[in-house]
Amino acid sequence: MSAARGAEAPTQTAQSQNDVEPSILDFAGGLPGFADLRRFALVRWGGDNSPLCLLKSMDRPEVEFVVAPPNVFFPDYEPELDDGTAERLGLSEAEDALMLVILTVEKPPESATANLMGPIVVNKNTLDAAQVVLADSGYELRAPLGGK
């Protein structure tokens, strides 16, 4: 697996910062606010070097989220997964997990935020996914992308 999601600085590199493989994810528990939507297509957006992806509902195509690997924007972001979530997603190795954060796109784009309190965690082998709630983590629900 790529080390792109490690602790490297979020500088512009020649390598793609995005090791996301297009896939169909299964959110067995739905997403808060969209409990009835389980299957989402994860696709890259914006070319090979773009860190942005779209998460598009298979059932309601008008529902889509902009997501990205968090470390592109937040290099120090290393939330801990609770055992229950890891078990539910069948995750035993950290390398099997893909983490994404949902971006809220605003006008102007500098106002965009990332949901660090509720990251999406994917088992890259099974494509089971869940939005994890890090209630006591101190991570922000709306962290400015252009933060610092």
Partner 1 sequence: MLVLTRRANQSIMIGHDVVVTVLEVRGDQIRIGIRAPREIDVHREEVFRQLQAANRQAASPDKDALDALGALVPGPREARPG
DSSP-derived secondary structure letter, 6: S
- Beta carbon of residue 65, minimum distance to partner 1 (angstroms, whole number): 6
DSSP for 77-125 reads --PPPPHHHHHHTT--SGGGEEEEEEEE--SSGGG-EE-SSS-EEEETT
**Cβ proximity to partner 1, 24 vs 60, nearer residue:** 60
Residue with tokens 């902009």: 66
Residue of 7, 22, 36, 62 that binds partner 1 (CB under 8 A) = 62
Q: Does 147 bind partner 1 (CB under 8 A)?
A: no
State which H helix or E strand residue 57 sits in: strand 53-57
Q: Is 104 helix (H, G, I), strand (E, B) or coil?
A: strand
Residue of 91, 117, 121, 129 that binds partner 1 (CB under 8 A) = 117
Interacting residue ranges for partner 1, rule: CB under 8 A: 10-12, 16-18, 28-29, 31-34, 45-52, 62-66, 68, 72-73, 84, 87-88, 102-110, 112, 115, 117-118, 131, 133, 135, 141-142, 145-146
